[in-house]
A and B are shown apart, each in its own frame.
Chain A
């Protein structure tokens, strides 16, 4: 009752100012007020750096008129004495969909044909995920309940935008007042908004993260083209709208730390510094985040603790999750420490009421109060270039402020009022009488009663009556000076009901009715403070917060990560059996010197330079690192299958540097991998060539200066032969006949495109200035690169007819197929492949899981090899990649390939196929020091890597494994104890579910597999 009364908006109906109403007709009599309010004797935090004591804030017509110690109050000012209270600028929220229409996502329907085209009618972009034309100010409708939620926690202004699509349009800065929209919109079209999520669009494209990136890049190029003359060709409201967004502060919802890096890369391409909405895990990659130069908007939705009482179940919680639970509150402090500008957002909180508790957690974790305030006021104001309007309380600013009981960041602070544009919203009664204390209570003829009133703040009180030794808890409601009590004085008799009022700060009196209906009178007199022992309530049971020092980041942020990124060493490996892959063959008792990440010397009896790490290789074998020509690890998605060609997508956009499979493969001796697009469509995406440098960022994993590669695919996957519901398939092609035409069509267009650009580029400068440049198409760019031998094909292929087909297509259009991958029937056309100069990268012995692998034989590698084809053995499987040495050994078993040649199939040959054999693939002075030290002949089933070295840095060391595991266990144990304490202290917990990361194969298509099919499908996914 009291609550409802208090939260009632006192100001409703008070139209203090005329400026917003002049254009509206009025029913009734004008009621414009002066709008002159002064708040005196307050502690006023004008901005994060400036706090005035005993100061006055004067506002007029919704703006700050004056703030300071000596403010002249004009006649007609409503003066409020705020002695002992504080004023802060109201907070600003930057990630909000306040007042925006609800985004409806249609559930995916797998029994309906796919939607290829946009359902949005009108002259818009072809893809529904691109909606730059959306204008938040046009969509905005105030929502009282939602506004109230944010006002209560101190917000006055939000930047709102529709959270739908990849290009989301422009944002509007609006206040959280309850009023006509006309007075709420402070500034329309203040910002531009982007994300990686296609939102409500049901279109097939894009259906992957790299597709989202590509679509946005293409749309931005299209917008540029439109501006330069494309508008003569077509009217496009979306492309036109992009023009209006130019120059605005641009926000990108990136999701998490790697998303931040990904988004920034797009910004760099288009010369825009995005402001990036992160995920709260940025502390895990702070250096890389800092290097982006981006300002961030970060959430305070810290993860809940897990139920870890059951030690077996608790195993399902990873160390990364445990650590993130501990460290998420430190995120803001660490960003501040690295001088990364940021604003805080309430977005992502399950309940906005948790906001303050979490902000305080961030402060306990090292964030300064000043910085926290800045991140909630001035920083967001600056980011939207509205710091001349909001964010501080200097003269002339919009009068958005909050009145609090004291320091905004203290745990028992009460926000009394939130003023928005000079309009008052009461949240708590700042004038409520402080009833706390011990009172002598008389009810009727019972005069020996004692009433204790306790509580952390004046409006959250606990009441207890002591009748001799009996404790009675009355029900009490207080409304200003009126007090109502229900007292079960005698349980059997019933409840005595009392009403009274305060006659002075220390006396209360009134009357009431006893349970038997008899009228009685009552009174209370304050006798003093409540003794300390009864007031000491549970204030200590706050959830534990780690000190900054005890919590360390791992690189990458998973259990197998390292507290420091490993460093290159000078090392001498002595007296090993060295598989050189050079004309020296396998050298016995040889030494290899590694320096500056390179192989410095290979020979016998080398001397160790001072300080070199000397490794005894006696009885061991030293080889090159394994190179996996066909891998899908460390990727967030695999297929962009929305269209028959997705040449525009880049796997480099979706590298997951935190994938534990990187480490697992290091343990199997793999040092480099081609991360390939999947095989869902005839023309896939651009490969990422990486070294498995565990701990580096996605960018750090990429092999610099490597040639560009692209995945193509043939056969059943491309024609969608094994889809669960073949009846709804409408994507061209559905037969091998159509596949050929996809290539003919795309390359014919690419050739014309290339010609058009060549002609344009040849123009003299002044002609160029006059001409409209050709439309930039990032898909055709990639295909033109193939035609110009600047990008190289790895083609997923099985049966001979289609292999033959692609060779013909390539020959007729004048390009080369660099590698056929899988190539299970390569043995049938090995002569043709050899003639064309194509390589083959195959499985050792896979077959029988679908029709097109029916004729696959384990002798394939041997047959192709003896026809002079460069043959590699690849994995396409995160598990098998861990033992590619064994797969290579099968070439010895099937077909009798010599051991050295078999070994080259997982080292030198894939290096050749990836055009990296000048740096990788053999042990020769000058090449990259990517080495593996084995305990035995690497082709033996009993062999295992003891050290895996990349660029002279040891990334896997068997000797260190036990220590590493011990540390992991220790850290787990520490965090689990902490979580148990947190739970005992009342923290909410969640069940320990465990997420098993998807193991990708090249046929995996997002959106095609449903649960339950998983098991049955595993066999067809290769």
Chain B
């Protein structure tokens, strides 16, 4: 009875949400030039008093104040900062709305091996969460499935669009594998502590994976297999490099073992996701040219004796060792609007350089996800997916997004939070302040 009630309530909320989210932006109709800003290109380069021009969704010019803007609608953003749209990888945005309400959660399929499951089609462009993250500069997310050992395929989504077809930037960019860990969590009913114990089922799970990958590789060699196997079919791209293999692994041994596993099948593009202990395997990652998408830095150290700031320092440690790093908010979908602040935290804890940190949420991420030809930096020929911030976007106080463009479409920055803010601000006759 109550369950039903909750379902109805949740449904009502979603229906309302649909009505409330602003309409997706119209395609770019004429060239736009943003002038007078500090342009953070996303590759480490900063242009003071810069101008960026884009037309039909594509950047046509980036440069200093002398960059010609003829024929373009000029929007002066003097003193502001322009950034490439931030990319939030390994995200559940669009896949779940209210985690406690089962009917709004579409991020996890049952079963152990689900390579054919696609996050793409569950991605709800009407999620109320999407406008709130867009408001902090996140213009691209990677919709990622959870669950099982092989969770399924992710896709790269833009945070504006009528439906998933419309919003998608890259379909099925990779497959997600939860590496059977060396240690498994076990929960004590005695004192309610979680402990990590040697995972006794691990070798069995790895054997099963081994068999599946061997079968998939052999299958991939056949052009038109009969009978057709949807699961193995979904894995084809892994062996050609058309799709990434994202492996969730945190501990040093798991990282090494997982990468070796993938390499043994000749999988060209392997990405470690999580990497809480990636500093242990830093040489290995470098030698094997394996990038890391770090899970949220906003976590506690794993061990009592670990340096208190180790999670915060991890991006700096990996970057200095030459490992390609991106930052993520993992499954914390509603908190992922704080992605830029993870980068800021990394700056304060060892990384030092703001532009390097920015790369970890823009160009590095684009390279890892295989979308760097289109997005990730503000360079000529790339998508005009960018935003204008009042100030330093990595700092909470100045991350105030004033304009956002996705493929040149000027996005409406309204969101549920702003609407409620305005309703009650007016109720109390309070001034409009902040973003």
Q: Tell me, yes or no, whether A364 is within 8 Å of chain B by CB.
A: no
Q: Tell me, yes or no, whether B395 is within 8 Å of chain A by CB.
A: yes
Q: Tell me, yes or no, whether A316 is within 8 Å of chain B by CB.
A: yes
| Closest residue of B by beta carbon distance from A830 | B428
Which B residues touch A1019, using CB under 8 A? 99-100, 332
Q: Tell me, yes or no, whether B424 is within 8 Å of chain A by CB.
A: yes
* Interchain nearest-CB distance for B226 vs A (Å): 39
Evaluate contact between A848 and B304: CB separation under 8 angstroms: no
CA distance A848 to B332 in the complex (A): 10
Evaluate contact between A315 and B300: CB separation under 8 angstroms: no
Q: Tell me, yes or no, whether A667 is within 8 Å of chain B by CB.
A: yes
| Closest residue of A by beta carbon distance from B399 | A893
Interface string of A859-870 (1 = CB under 8 A from B): 100110011000
Q: Point out which of A318, A854, A897, A944 has the most chain B C-beta atoms below 10 A from its C-beta.
A: A854
| Closest residue of A by beta carbon distance from B108 | A1016
Given the known interface contacts A312-B252, A863-B421, A940-B397, the answer about A1011 and B308 at a Cβ–Cβ threshold of 8 Å is no
Chain B contact residue count (CB 8 A cutoff): 71
Which A residues touch B338, using CB under 8 A? 845
Evaluate contact between B193 and A997: CB separation under 8 angstroms: yes
* Interchain nearest-CB distance for A728 vs B (Å): 13
Which B residues touch A721, using CB under 8 A? 2, 6, 100
Count of A-B residue pairs with CB < 8 Å:
208
* Interchain nearest-CB distance for A191 vs B (Å): 27
Which A residues touch B215, using CB under 8 A? none
CA distance A108 to B187 in the complex (A): 15
Which chain A residues (606-642) contact chain B, with CB distance < 8 Å?
A: 637
| Closest residue of B by beta carbon distance from A107 | B189
| Closest residue of B by beta carbon distance from A994 | B196
Evaluate contact between A859 and B334: CB separation under 8 angstroms: no
Which B residues touch A522, using CB under 8 A? none
* Interchain nearest-CB distance for A421 vs B (Å): 39
Q: Tell me, yes or no, whether A965 is within 8 Å of chain B by CB.
A: yes
User: A851's contact among B9, B341, B396, by CB below 8 Å, is which?
Assistant: B9
Interface string of B177-217 (1 = CB under 8 A from A): 00000010111010011111110000000000000000000
CA distance A862 to B424 in the complex (A): 11
Given the known interface contacts A941-B396, A944-B348, A1019-B100, the answer about A857 and B196 at a Cβ–Cβ threshold of 8 Å is no
* Interchain nearest-CB distance for A560 vs B (Å): 7
Given the known interface contacts A660-B304, A941-B345, the answer about A851 and B433 at a Cβ–Cβ threshold of 8 Å is no
* Interchain nearest-CB distance for A956 vs B (Å): 9
Evaluate contact between A318 and B303: CB separation under 8 angstroms: yes
Interface string of A326-346 (1 = CB under 8 A from B): 000000000000000000000
CA distance A715 to B134 in the complex (A): 30
Given the known interface contacts A859-B420, A862-B433, A897-B434, the answer about A886 and B305 at a Cβ–Cβ threshold of 8 Å is no
CA distance A284 to B411 in the complex (A): 61
CA distance A972 to B198 in the complex (A): 22
Interface string of B90-111 (1 = CB under 8 A from A): 0000000111110000000000
Which B residues touch A1009, using CB under 8 A? 187, 192
Evaluate contact between B333 and A848: CB separation under 8 angstroms: yes
Chain A interface, >50% SS class: loop
Evaluate contact between A857 and B344: CB separation under 8 angstroms: no
Q: Tell me, yes or no, whether B302 is within 8 Å of chain A by CB.
A: yes
CA distance A463 to B338 in the complex (A): 76
User: B428's contact among A664, A867, A889, A940, by CB below 8 Å, is which?
Assistant: A867
CA distance A941 to B348 in the complex (A): 7
Which chain B residues (132-152) contact chain A, with CB distance < 8 Å?
A: none
Evaluate contact between B305 and A995: CB separation under 8 angstroms: no
Q: Tell me, yes or no, whether A104 is within 8 Å of chain B by CB.
A: no
Which B residues touch A896, using CB under 8 A? 433-435
Q: Tell me, yes or no, whether B283 is within 8 Å of chain A by CB.
A: no
Which chain A residues (474-520) contact chain B, with CB distance < 8 Å?
A: none
Given the known interface contacts A851-B9, A857-B421, A941-B348, the answer about A895 and B304 at a Cβ–Cβ threshold of 8 Å is no
Interface string of B320-348 (1 = CB under 8 A from A): 00000000000011110110010011011
Evaluate contact between B421 and A889: CB separation under 8 angstroms: no
Evaluate contact between A968 and B428: CB separation under 8 angstroms: no
| Closest residue of A by beta carbon distance from B305 | A559
User: B395's contact among A897, A940, A999, by CB below 8 Å, is which?
Assistant: A940
Which B residues touch A827, using CB under 8 A? 420-421, 424
Given the known interface contacts A847-B334, A942-B395, A944-B349, the answer about A1014 and B187 at a Cβ–Cβ threshold of 8 Å is yes
Q: Tell me, yes or no, whether A850 is within 8 Å of chain B by CB.
A: yes
Given the known interface contacts A845-B338, A862-B434, A1011-B186, the answer about A996 and B100 at a Cβ–Cβ threshold of 8 Å is no
User: B305's contact among A319, A726, A899, A1014, by CB below 8 Å, is which?
Assistant: A319
Evaluate contact between A991 and B198: CB separation under 8 angstroms: yes
* Interchain nearest-CB distance for A435 vs B (Å): 48
User: B99's contact among A320, A850, A859, by CB below 8 Å, is which?
Assistant: A850
Interface string of A868-905 (1 = CB under 8 A from B): 00000000001110110010011011111101000000
Q: Tell me, yes or no, whether A961 is within 8 Å of chain B by CB.
A: yes
Given the known interface contacts A894-B434, A994-B303, the answer about A851 and B101 at a Cβ–Cβ threshold of 8 Å is yes
Q: Tell me, yes or no, whether A59 is within 8 Å of chain B by CB.
A: no
Evaluate contact between A895 and B396: CB separation under 8 angstroms: no
User: B424's contact among A828, A879, A1012, A1014, by CB below 8 Å, is which?
Assistant: A828
Chain A contact residue count (CB 8 A cutoff): 84
Q: Tell me, yes or no, whether B13 is within 8 Å of chain A by CB.
A: yes
Q: Tell me, yes or no, whether A118 is within 8 Å of chain B by CB.
A: no
User: A849's contact among B2, B99, B192, B400, by CB below 8 Å, is which?
Assistant: B99
Which chain B residues (39-61) contact chain A, with CB distance < 8 Å?
A: none
Which A residues touch B253, using CB under 8 A? 312
Which B residues touch A968, using CB under 8 A? 305
Evaluate contact between A893 and B435: CB separation under 8 angstroms: yes
Evaluate contact between A941 and B10: CB separation under 8 angstroms: no
CA distance A54 to B198 in the complex (A): 59
| Closest residue of A by beta carbon distance from B10 | A851
| Closest residue of B by beta carbon distance from A991 | B198
Which B residues touch A845, using CB under 8 A? 335, 337-338
Which B residues touch A942, using CB under 8 A? 344, 347-348, 395
Given the known interface contacts A850-B98, A895-B434, the answer about A883 and B194 at a Cβ–Cβ threshold of 8 Å is no
Evaluate contact between A1014 and B417: CB separation under 8 angstroms: no
User: A316's contact among B9, B303, B395, by CB below 8 Å, is which?
Assistant: B303
Evaluate contact between A722 and B304: CB separation under 8 angstroms: no
Q: Tell me, yes or no, whether B425 is within 8 Å of chain A by CB.
A: yes
Q: Tell me, yes or no, whether B309 is within 8 Å of chain A by CB.
A: yes
Evaluate contact between A879 and B299: CB separation under 8 angstroms: yes
CA distance A830 to B185 in the complex (A): 43
| Closest residue of B by beta carbon distance from A310 | B253
Which chain A residues (4-44) contact chain B, with CB distance < 8 Å?
A: none
Q: Tell me, yes or no, whether A231 is within 8 Å of chain B by CB.
A: no
Which B residues touch A849, using CB under 8 A? 98-100, 334
Q: Tell me, yes or no, whether A794 is within 8 Å of chain B by CB.
A: no
| Closest residue of B by beta carbon distance from A664 | B308
CA distance A993 to B184 in the complex (A): 10
Which B residues touch A703, using CB under 8 A? none
Which A residues touch B435, using CB under 8 A? 893-894, 896
Which B residues touch A889, using CB under 8 A? 395-397
Evaluate contact between B334 and A893: CB separation under 8 angstroms: no
| Closest residue of A by beta carbon distance from B395 | A941
Which B residues touch A726, using CB under 8 A? 2-3
Those 3 A-B pairs whose CB atoms lie nearest each other, nearest first: A896-B433, A1011-B187, A941-B344
Between A and B, 5 residue pairs with Cβ closer than 8 Å are: A830-B428, A850-B101, A879-B298, A889-B397, A893-B435
In the complex, besides A663-B308, A893-B400, A941-B345, 18 extra interface pairs with C-beta distance below 8 angstroms are A108-B189, A320-B304, A558-B305, A637-B192, A660-B304, A849-B98, A851-B9, A859-B420, A863-B421, A879-B299, A886-B341, A939-B396, A941-B348, A944-B349, A991-B198, A993-B183, A1011-B186, A1020-B100
Residues on A close to B: CB < 8 A? 108, 312, 315-316, 318-320, 558-560, 637, 660-661, 663-664, 667, 716, 721-722, 726, 827-828, 830-831, 845-851, 854-855, 857-859, 862-863, 866-867, 878-880, 882-883, 886, 889-890, 892-897, 899, 936, 939-944, 961, 965, 968, 972, 991, 993-999, 1004, 1006, 1009-1012, 1014, 1016, 1019-1020
